[in-house]
Structure 1
């Protein structure tokens, strides 16, 4: 089996058997391609000619290029998955990457906002403009539900179930999940939808998107970032923040308040690659009770 056919078959395995998202598949293939390029310098024309020492030499090579420990660990993970696939297919008897340890990673805690800082940011929004009413609803939803920015800008009106205090979002890997939404977010979302959103322009085909710009198109991720950055400057906040900071703050405030970690992970739609634990599905009544009891704006 040569590199080209092995990588082609590996791609099919990731897509069909692992059901990975397009970006994840491309990341895996990019990692294997790095190894292939290095192997060709050593005249290793087939992936099954690679030995454990070859992979160690490769890791030393990417380290010498200045690649961070986190990036090295991610590349090694991709290579391990590639050779795990080849052993499953019988192309190799042993996985040469199986016993190689990833570099030690220092844990960098993400910046979070205090409740006071979040109140200050949202309170600095100018509500005398249509954009201000939209931005207030947007940040309330972002913080109340712990959304990724991609989930926020792609949020649909048809996926709002405000009467039962839930929204449905599509996260990574096109996985859908239901998330409780707090009363404050519902209030400002309804004000926006019933007034500003209803009276503003809407481009054909974009009618179902919740947050629209002045031209009637969905907000971009960059625009959400700029809105938050301008508010941070306005209130004199020195922290480097982004839409993802609201997501980190959502999780931190719930956990600090005593919320069950599994409930928070279920709401975030996040599965850690460092654990094999399968998080149990939590019923909606329990998720709602966690939100009401522990979220400061519920």
Structure 2
């Protein structure tokens, strides 16, 4: 088999055996394709079964000149997964990246917005347009439910359980969870559904998709980024924000208002509580207030 065949089989393994999402699979495959491109460019004739640690070290060294340490760590992790797959399938006996260490990274604290920033962004939406009503509903859902952008664009009408006060969210690896939804967010979704969405020419295959573009198709992730970026410019918000900023803000504001980490973990869909624990480091002022309020020696 050539590189393309191994990569294709690796792709199937990630989907079937590990149950990863399309975005995760694409990232893993891209890491291996970068290595494949490097070998072709430098006329290095080796297969996935014969490539050596030395060749991989040279590739990683060359790559490090053009990418930051975080991207380099991501690349090494992706390649290790590929070679571990080859071992799993008995194609190789060893992983040539076993002794190659990724750069040590400090834990990056997530960017957040305060409540006033979020209110100003949503208030800046032009509600005289059909897209404006849609954008208000989707941003309220993004922040009100702490969704990933991929979860937001994939949300279905059949996922809305408003009578019970929940929505069903399909997250990474097609894992599903139920997330509470406030009456305010429900109200804005209903306005969009009843006054805007019903007038769209909905394309086949998108009948159940909640948020649609003007052509009646599912919104793209890039479109959500553009909507948020344009609103930030409109209110002169001098912060670099993305859809994920709303998710981080959701978790941070819950923590600041007394929610427990376990509940936040379940709502965010984090597999491990250690992922959620990063929010404990976001607002040290809040933690100090907790200490002063609840510790017996602070009285």
Q: Which residue of 2 aligns with 1:269?
A: 269
Q: Is the 8 A contact 1:2 1:45 kept in 2?
A: no
- Shift in Å at residue 76 of structure 1? 1.0
Query: Structure 2 vs 1, CA of residues 20 and 101 (structure 1 numbering), >3 Å: closer, same or farther?
Result: same
Q: Take 2:3 and 2:212, find their aligned partners in 1: how far apart are those partners? A: 46
RMSD across aligned C-alpha pairs, in angstroms?
3.0
Give me the whole-angstrom Cα distance separating, in 2, the residues matched to 1:43 and 1:218: 43
Q: 2:62 is matched with which residue?
A: 61
d(CA) in 1 for partners of 2:20, 2:104? 26
Shift of 1:251: 1.7
Q: Describe how 1:145-184 pairs up with structure 2 within 5 A.
A: 145-184=145-184
Corresponding residue pairs, total: 272
Distance 1:53 1:126, change over 3 A: closer
- After superposition, the Cα gap between the structure-2 partners of 1:230 and 1:80, relative to the gap in structure 1 and judged at 3 Å, is closer
**1:113 positional shift:** 0.9
Q: 2 CA distance for matches of 1:148 and 1:241?
A: 14
Give the Cα–Cα distance (whole angstroms) in 2 for the partners of residues 191 and 147 of structure 1.
20
In the other structure, the counterpart of 1:191 is 191
Matches within 5 A, 1:97-136: 97-136=97-136
Q: Which moved more, 1:18-27 or 1:179-188?
A: 18-27
Mapped to 1, the partners of 2:24 and 2:227 lie a distance apart of: 29
Tell me the secondary structure at the aligned position of residue 163 of structure 2.
helix
Deviations along 1:231-263, one digit per CA (max 9) or x if unpaired, are 323333222223222112112212333333343
Q: Under a length normalisation based on structure 1, what TM-score does the superposition of the two structures give?
A: 0.77
* Preserved contact between residue 3 and residue 48 of structure 2 (Cα < 8 Å): yes
In 2 relative to 1, CA 227–5 (structure 1 residues): closer, same or farther, beyond 3 Å? closer
* 8 Å CA contact retained: 1:213, 1:219: yes
1:3–1:45 Cα contact (<8 Å) kept: no
Stretches of structure 2 lacking an aligned partner (at least 5 in a row): 276-299
Stretches of structure 1 lacking an aligned partner (at least 5 in a row): 276-298
CA contact (8 A) 2:19 2:174 kept: no
**Cα gap change, 1:228/1:9 in structure 2, threshold over 3 Å: closer, same or farther?**
closer
Determine the C-alpha separation between the residues in 2 that align with 1:9 and 1:221: 27
**Cα deviations by residue, 1:176-225 (Å, 9 ceiling, x for unpaired):** 32211112212222233333434x23324344332334454444444433
Cα deviation, residue 104, structure 1: 1.8
Report 1:270-289 matches (<5 A). 270-271=270-271
Q: Distance in 1 between matches of 2:215 and 2:122?
A: 24
